[in-house]
Amino acid sequence: MIKIFKLVLLLCIIVSCNSKEKKTTKVEYPEKTSIKQVNPELEASMERGKSIYNDMCITCHMADGKGVPKAFPPLASSDYLLEKQKESILGIKNGMSGEIMVNGITYNSVMAPLGLADDEVADVMNYINNSWGNDYGEFLTPQEVTNVTK
């Protein structure tokens, strides 16, 4: 949130410094600015991630991210995704098996490795972290995925 405020403040300073007339209107900030509105790079990553999600993930986790009860865990409003970002990145990159608890329900499925490159993993994570009402973290870069998967 601080990064967003600094960006908005910087834009206001640039605009006011380049203005030939002094403005007396008060700048009003929305209570909460979506990171997607401020970061076009995230928006582009999410679009790519949505395409990958629709190709590779939608069959199990569904179009609405709600998964299949007791078979495939939800991504929408998922406490696991919120609290375990690194494990989620590793799951997308390397696959997963064994028991996990998501929103109080135990899942014991197998998710095969998807064969995605680090930039694709970042795009999918950016998509699921910011879809279906999720607001989980900031823009994830391919380098951050590489750092987690080393």
pLDDT for 58-101, tens place per residue? 999 999 999 999 999 999 999 999 999 999 999 999 999 999 99
Q: Tell me the pTM.
A: 0.74
CB 83 within 8 A of CB 73: no
CB 53 within 8 A of CB 104: no
pLDDT on residue 66: 98
pLDDT on residue 39: 87
Angle at 148 between CA 33 and CA 118, to 5 degrees: 80
Query: What mean pLDDT value characterizes the chain?
Result: 82
Beta strand spans in 33-104 (E) = 96-97, 100-102
pLDDT on residue 25: 36
pLDDT on residue 38: 62
Tokens at 36, concatenated: 């997607």
pLDDT on residue 4: 45
pLDDT on residue 27: 34
**Of the candidates 15, 133, 30, 23, which has an alpha carbon nearest to the alpha carbon of residue 74?**
133
Residues of the chain with pLDDT under 70: 1-38
